[in-house]
Structure 1
Amino acid sequence: MKHVTVIVSQWQTNLSAIVGIHEVFSKANHHWKSKGKREPLKVEFARVGSAKQVSFSDGLFMVKPERHISAIMKTDLIIIPSISPRFKTNDKDNKFLLQWINDQFENGAEVASICSGAFLLASTGLLDGKRCSTHWGLADEFKARFPKVNLERDRLITDESGIYTNGGAYSFLNLLIYLVEKFYDRATAIHCAKVLQVEIERMSQSPFSIFNGQKSHGDDVVEKAQNYIESKITEKISTADLATKFSLGRRNFDRRFIRATGNTPLAYTQRVKIEAAKRLFENSRKNINEVMYSVGYSDTKAFREVFRKITGMSPIDYRSKYNKAIASI
């Protein structure tokens, strides 16, 4: 039997992930035993720090972990639920936790982070040079704090060298189903997905992301360029025109823009236009061509390709899924 350790600390922000972990693995174990097999995983909730219980929702809920992580000498899988990105790495308890995770990983344990739990995982250094996902709303902050990590902001689940990460909020259920398939089998994963009504094998969080341009970079010229792009949704804007408008050489403008926003000027412009298109699909009765023209595209094929690349869905599928008025017809 393998051992799973779920970290519970005062920095936890989401009770649902802790409950969800318990529910998913309990369902998996029950299904496994119903087939006459010995359950493969034992899940234990371990606390960090001296507090013997952790409160959530202003004290409405309390979690009482079974024991302190210092009492766990060997584990096979560590799960880090979502935490506040503001947690202090130099805090005594957290320093111990980061070292404990590193030691366990060196001894063969695998590690999974849920949503903003990636901030704690990245603080161990184990994600340096590896792929990682986190909540799309925290992507810019994560990228700024952990430049050595290969953040894949649209990816729902990453799996590399015994380290798993996932996107935001309730998508942790997709990661848990993924782990059930890894540690149990495909049939058990499908069973859990059906019982809990989780869409299996969803690998992108693109349809759920809301693009908000990164503007806390401190480069005034780039911010002016961003504002200009956002004010000209209906127009075609080239990188060369932007560079000229802001009195910079093309290569210098490109470098500054990428350094400040994490996107090329072209990619930024595409994301701004597609975000506007998404809002039109959600809130108006405009057809595909009308939306396309409204955001400055005249080539249907190009619009569809860019839309799918950014959202993971075709324009017509997105419109059908998110526009209540259209879906009810």
Structure 2
Amino acid sequence: MIDDTVGIAIASYPEVWRASVHGLTDMFMVAERYDRLQSASEPRRLRVSHYALDDAGSVLKVFDTHPSERERVPAAVVLPPAIGDELPFGERMGGFPEWIRTHHQSGAIICSACGGVSLLAQTGLLAGRSATTHWLHGEAIAKRHPDVRIDTDKMLLDEGDIITAGGMMAWTDLGLRLIDRLLGANIMLATARFMLIDPGAREQSFYSTFTPRLDHEDMVILDIQHWLHGTDTKGLGVPAMAERARLGERTFLRRFQKATGLNPTEYAQRLRVAKARDLLAQSSLSTEQVAWASGYEDANAFRKIFRKIVGVSPGEYRMRFSIVTPPAERDGDVTG
């Protein structure tokens, strides 16, 4: 029997902005309704649960939209914005950091908005990675966590297994991105129309189609995926991945393909192209500079791979989705 329930766990940590907790819950329920209306087969259910701390600091469930269903690992964990004078950090967060790490290890997408990234950074999952938050919190979080690259110029950063959103109301962007990931673009757009949220510039500016499979339960391969998402894949080949996984190359290739649906080379290419998409849309770097920053030493090879995966050239993609004034390309890459 096919499991058609998708779980979303929302952390109602101390000083969380409760309006966003309930707003996200309502948004996901609207998405579930539209999936039921539009589904040609069995509709999916979005099971939204809220988790808080008890007096001993342990994490426990305090709300469930589908309480009669059996427990299962959530597909996503959401850390909403904070509303207090202090960022969510330290002992008062109780068991939340370990709770978040455990779900990440089980394949859940970890999402944070605004000050929620402070709690996410406390887990150590952002070490060596990029994240965004409210511009007001950027300096404080960067000082407390120097191993995290804080970029407050971005409204949304989607790295596959971790999604971070910027300002207070960026929980709406985060919610729409998660609906897109879990239920598809049509349901996301229907939800946005119903809630009168403009998804155009948001999705256009931060567009990415690579949705890695993280719920396959092969913990060795999942560890490699998490590593790939957080490292520079330039020059990284199968031997290095297999060695890190402590597997023979043939065994590693077989298990990686089975778990993710892609071979390791294709997976790394899609990660690089996802990064290139962000750079093309949000920076004024030339195509050659984007290629280099994305892990390609040969700009022509980058163009071929980009067109193969995306369906258009880097120049065409930039014309459609750029939110900055594009540079004058020396090589006429607008159509090539």
Shorter-chain TM-score range: 0.5 to 0.7
2:21 paired residue number: 18
Q: CA deviation at 1:191?
A: 0.7
> 1:137 & 1:72 partners in 2: Cα distance?
38
CA contact (8 A) 2:88 2:116 kept: no
CA contact (8 A) 2:117 2:133 kept: yes
Give the 5 Å matches for 1:170-181: 170-181=169-180
Q: CA deviation at 1:9?
A: 2.6
Q: CA deviation at 1:147?
A: 1.2
1:35 paired residue number: 38
**What residue ranges of structure 2 are gaps of 5+ in the alignment?**
65-69, 206-322, 326-336
Secondary structure, in 3 states, of the residue corresponding to 2:91? coil
Counterpart of 1:45 (choices 44, 47, 50) is 50
Q: CA deviation at 1:141?
A: 1.2
Q: CA deviation at 1:21?
A: 0.5
> 1:160 & 1:199 partners in 2: Cα distance?
23
Give the 5 Å matches for 1:213-252: none
CA contact (8 A) 2:21 2:80 kept: yes
1:182 aligns with 2:197: no
Q: CA deviation at 1:35?
A: 2.3
Q: CA deviation at 1:30?
A: 0.3
Secondary structure, in 3 states, of the residue corresponding to 2:137? helix
Q: What residue identity is the alignment partner of 2:76?
A: L
Counterpart of 1:4 (choices 2, 5, 8) is 8
The percent of aligned pairs where both chains have the same amino acid is 21
What is the TM-score of this pair, normalised by structure 2?
Answer: 0.52
- Number of matched pairs: 190
> 1:11 & 1:115 partners in 2: Cα distance?
13
Q: CA deviation at 1:75?
A: 2.1
CA contact (8 A) 2:6 2:44 kept: no
- Could you list the runs of 4 or more consecutive aligned residues of structure 1 that deviate by over 6 angstroms after TM superposition? none
> 2:127 & 2:201 partners in 1: Cα distance?
25
Q: CA deviation at 1:95?
A: 3.8
> 1:65 & 1:198 partners in 2: Cα distance?
29
CA contact (8 A) 2:9 2:51 kept: yes
CA contact (8 A) 2:87 2:115 kept: no
CA contact (8 A) 2:132 2:155 kept: yes
> 1:161 & 1:31 partners in 2: Cα distance?
24
The C-alpha deviation readout for 1:181-222, integer Å capped at 9, x for no partner, is: 110011111111111111214449x9xxxxxxxxxxxxxxxx
User: Quick one: structure 1 residues 203 and 136, their matched pair in 2 at CA, closer, same or farther if it must change by over 3 Å?
Assistant: farther
What is the TM-score of this pair, normalised by structure 1?
Answer: 0.53
1:124 paired residue number: 123
CA contact (8 A) 1:174 1:199 kept: no
Larger Rg belongs to = 1
Secondary structure, in 3 states, of the residue corresponding to 1:20? helix
> 1:86 & 1:187 partners in 2: Cα distance?
35
> 1:188 & 1:75 partners in 2: Cα distance?
20
Q: CA deviation at 1:10?
A: 2.5
CA contact (8 A) 2:101 2:125 kept: yes
User: Quick one: structure 1 residues 148 and 72, their matched pair in 2 at CA, closer, same or farther if it must change by over 3 Å?
Assistant: farther
Q: What residue identity is the alignment partner of 2:63?
A: E
Q: CA deviation at 1:73?
A: 6.8
Give the 5 Å matches for 1:48-127: 48-50=53-55, 65-66=62-63, 74-83=73-82, 84=84, 85-91=86-92, 94-127=93-126
CA contact (8 A) 1:174 1:202 kept: no
CA contact (8 A) 2:51 2:62 kept: yes
CA contact (8 A) 2:89 2:122 kept: no
